[in-house]
């Protein structure tokens, strides 16, 4: 089966397998999609008649709503599935669930799953386009794309920028996708966090590491804060939340050390007072809410590029 879709692929499973031209194409298309969000009528008929299933096996607000808004703006029909209250609780396997959904002939499935690789398994099992909306600690490609889109809007480029990512590196799929994407686009990435939350050998992804935020923050154009994922056991990696906040939290004093014109990002959900101080989250360098708006544009671009053509007819 050949897939001559604009992305040269049927699915969007991760950033690792995307080429630089593909990334540029998604970001450029997202610029156009952004403009639709500013029109009086925020809807285009492009994906009329396409059915998209949002298959979420894990909690999500931002990502799911963002995908839903993107689908509605492109006139696709979307159906939501939450694992709670579904046949999954009765012991149905992932592939069986998907095959049953496939019998309803969706054109795409947007999927979040706690197990890394789950969307890949599904992509091989069924013909619909699979969009990974986060698989365990592996990848979250649309988040990385929207982060890059937001950075590009602010700096006009990605090449040569230095991006600092701080926090729970070990449990973050956002980090993996972001490192892959930023490296491909010519940015430098510095990862920072407590040693207990920093996987051994993470440098092999092509980034610097540091355990001292104060040493690296003045060199960076972008500071991206991550949430401590206590639901994945990160709470035991340091003695106390207060200590974590003091050593790695982004507060006003640290923001003052940032480069001029630097921006503060957070993929959400934030824990105010833990990894980011409230006044920083709402401060003038924060682009956190803009990231959410970018998310809709980027997801519209991905949906269009995966579903816009007729595919292998």
The answer to whether 193 and 238 have CB atoms below 8 angstroms apart is no
In the residue annotation, 64 being an active-site residue is answered as no
For other proteins, the closer of residues 142 and 187 by Cβ is: 142
Taking the least distance from each CB to other proteins, the nearer of 64 and 73 is: 73
From the candidates 5, 29, 63, 266, which is the catalytic residue?
63
Residue 245 makes CB contacts below 8 A (sequence gap 6+) with 273, 274, 275
Judged by CB under 8 A, the residue of 9, 16, 46, 219 near other proteins is 46
Helical packing angle, 118-125 and 94-102, nearest 10°: 40
CA R_g for the chain: 19
Annotated active-site residue in 50, 138, 140, 162: 140
109 forms bridges with which residues in the sheet? Answer: 53, 130
Bridge partners (DSSP) of residue 241 are none
DSSP bridge partners of 191: 165, 209
Number of residues forming the site for other proteins (CB under 8 A): 30
Determine, following the binding rule CB under 8 A, whether residue 45 of this chain makes contact with other proteins. yes
Site for other proteins in 249-308 (CB under 8 A): 304-305, 307-308
Could you tell me the smallest distance in angstroms from the CB atom of residue 19 to other proteins? Answer: 12
Clarify whether 254 is annotated catalytic: no
Residues 5-44 that bind other proteins (CB under 8 A): 5-6, 8, 25, 28-29, 31-33, 35-36, 39-41, 43-44
Q: Which is nearer to other proteins, 29 or 71 (CB)?
A: 29
Residue 94 interacting with other proteins (CB under 8 A): no
Let me know if 112 is a catalytic residue: yes
Q: How far is the CB of 10 from other proteins (least distance, A)?
A: 12
Which of 146, 305 has the CB closer to other proteins?
305
Is 209 in the active site?
Answer: no
Between residues 39 and 157, which has the closer beta carbon with respect to other proteins? 39
Q: Residue 184 catalytic?
A: no
- Of 6 and 117, which has the nearer Cβ to other proteins? 6
Binding status of residue 72 toward other proteins by CB under 8 A: no
User: Cα 16 from chain centroid?
Assistant: 13
Does 136 contact other proteins by CB under 8 A?
no
The yes or no reply on residue 310 touching other proteins (CB under 8 A) is: yes
> How crowded is residue 46: how many other Cβ atoms within 10 Å of its Cβ?
17
> Which residues form the catalytic set?
62-63, 90, 112, 140
Residues forming contacts to other proteins in the complex (CB under 8 A) are 2, 4-6, 8, 25, 28-29, 31-33, 35-36, 39-41, 43-46, 49, 74, 304-305, 307-311, 313
């Amino acid at each position: 089966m050949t897939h001559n879709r604009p992305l040269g692929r049927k699915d969007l499973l991760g950033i690792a397998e995307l080429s630089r031209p593909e990334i540029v194409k998604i970001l450029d298309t997202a610029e156009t999609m952004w403009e639709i969000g500013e029109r009086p009528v925020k809807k285009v008929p492009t994906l009329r008649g396409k059915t998209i299933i949002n298959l979420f096996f894990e909690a999500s607000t931002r990502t799911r709503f963002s995908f839903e808004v993107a689908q509605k703006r492109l006139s696709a029909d979307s159906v939501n599935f939450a694992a709670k209250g579904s046949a999954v609780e009765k012991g149905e396997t992932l592939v069986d669930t998907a095959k049953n959904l496939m019998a309803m002939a969706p054109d795409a499935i947007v999927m979040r799953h706690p197990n890394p690789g789950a969307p890949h398994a599904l992509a091989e099992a069924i013909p619909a386009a699979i969009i990974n909306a986060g698989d365990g600690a592996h990848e979250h490609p649309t988040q990385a794309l929207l982060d890059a889109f937001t950075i590009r809007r602010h700096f006009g480029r990605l090449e040569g920028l230095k991006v600092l990512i701080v926090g729970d590196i070990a449990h973050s799929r956002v980090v993996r996708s972001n490192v892959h994407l930023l490296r491909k686009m010519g940015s430098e990435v510095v990862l920072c966090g407590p040693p207990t939350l920093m996987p051994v050998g993470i440098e092999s992804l092509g980034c610097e590491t540091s355990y001292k935020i104060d040493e690296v923050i003045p060199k960076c154009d972008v500071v991206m804060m991550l949430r401590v994922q206590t639901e994945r056991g990160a709470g035991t990696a340091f003695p106390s939340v207060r200590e974590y906040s003091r050593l790695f939290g982004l507060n006003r004093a640290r923001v003052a050390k940032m480069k001029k014109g630097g921006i503060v990002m957070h993929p959400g959900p934030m824990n105010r007072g833990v990894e980011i101080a409230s006044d920083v989250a709402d401060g003038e360098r924060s682009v956190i809410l803009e990231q959410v708006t970018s998310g809709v544009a980027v997801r519209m671009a991905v949906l269009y590029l995966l579903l816009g053509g007729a595919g292998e007819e």
